[in-house]
Amino acid sequence: MRLLLIEDDAELANGLVHALAQSGHACDAAANGQAALSACAVTAYDLVVLDLGLPDVDGQDLLRQLRERGLAAPVLILTARDDVHERIRGLDGGADDYLAKPFALGELEARIRALLRRGQPSSTQLAFGRLQFDTATRCASVGGESIDLTARELAILELLLRRAGRVVGKQQLFDAIYTWEADANLSVIEVHVSRLRRKLETASAGVVVRMLRGLGYRLETGRDD
Ligand code: CA
């Protein structure tokens, strides 16, 4: 999933970006309102985490502007102002959830997972072929045996599973797992997919990642030919 973190505290932002990457999210960071507006203009985010105390704009005003410009993704607001009026204003202004600073990383991650599950089937379990994928624990398994996958392999697998049987473009996979700062190009997707494919085969997952030249990849059941 592709996330945008709008936070002017560089140390906190860096820490969160790294922690979220460990959980398989590609997270861009914007340090002010202007950077956030530019980011949202060019990237379709799955979720936005917005600190209300920003240097150039009031977070509540920024939220309104983002919604006016068509941002549809869930927004979780962070606020040092643990003030009930501020929270009500945020939720009324288009936020989906809030967390007061200081917060535990585990709680932020749980709230992000909950927001990303909205509009998805209520279960955290995805299944295809013999493969099971728990989106809450980020564990892929076959017959109860977990498969050892990297964060990026898990992110690719999740996207393919959510669209099982349908084609997912290489660029779509790339956008879901790499931030702009990543020194990578589209071809790395082929590397991740080939490793993922090998691991799925070794685990006898009963699914194959088929490449459709020029289109992308599709998760299918059965054997590769
Ligand atoms: Ca701040």
Indicate left, alpha or beta for 119 from its phi (over 0: left) and psi (-120 to 50: alpha).
Answer: left
Q: The domain 2-117 is classified under which CATH number: 3.40.50.2300, 3.40.50.450, 3.30.565.10, 3.20.20.70?
A: 3.40.50.2300
Residues forming a β-bridge with 217? 168, 211
pLDDT-based confidence at residue 225 (cuts at 50, 70, 90)? very low
Numbered ranges of CATH 1.10.10.10 in the chain: 125-221
Pairwise CA distance, residues 183 & 185, whole Å: 7
- Residue 159: name the closest of 114, 115, 202, 216 by CA: 216
Please tell me the chain's helix, strand, coil percentages from 3-state DSSP, rounded to the nearest 5. Answer: 40, 25, 35
Q: The domain 125-221 is classified under which CATH number: 1.10.390.10, 3.40.50.10610, 1.10.10.10, 1.10.10.2840?
A: 1.10.10.10
Distance 21 CA to ligand 1 centre (A): 21
Q: Which helix (H) or strand (E) covers residue 131, if one does? A: strand 131-134
Distance 31 CA to ligand 1 centre (A): 9
Q: What is the pLDDT of residue 63?
A: 95
Encode pLDDT of 52-109 as tens digits: 999 999 999 999 999 988 898 999 999 876 678 888 888 888 899 999 989 999 999 9
Encode pLDDT of 178-221 as tens digits: 887 777 888 899 999 999 999 999 999 999 999 998 889 999 98
Distance 26 CA to ligand 1 centre (A): 21
Encode pLDDT of 9-59 as tens digits: 999 999 999 999 988 899 999 999 999 999 999 888 999 999 999 999 999
Distance 53 CA to ligand 1 centre (A): 4
48 touches 74 (CB < 8 A): yes
Distance 25 CA to ligand 1 centre (A): 22
Pairwise CA distance, residues 104 & 142, whole Å: 32
Distance 50 CA to ligand 1 centre (A): 9
- Give me the helices (H) in 23-70, please: 33-42, 59-68
116 touches 124 (CB < 8 A): no
* Residue count (the chain): 225
Distance 128 CA to ligand 1 centre (A): 42
Q: What is the pLDDT of residue 224?
A: 43
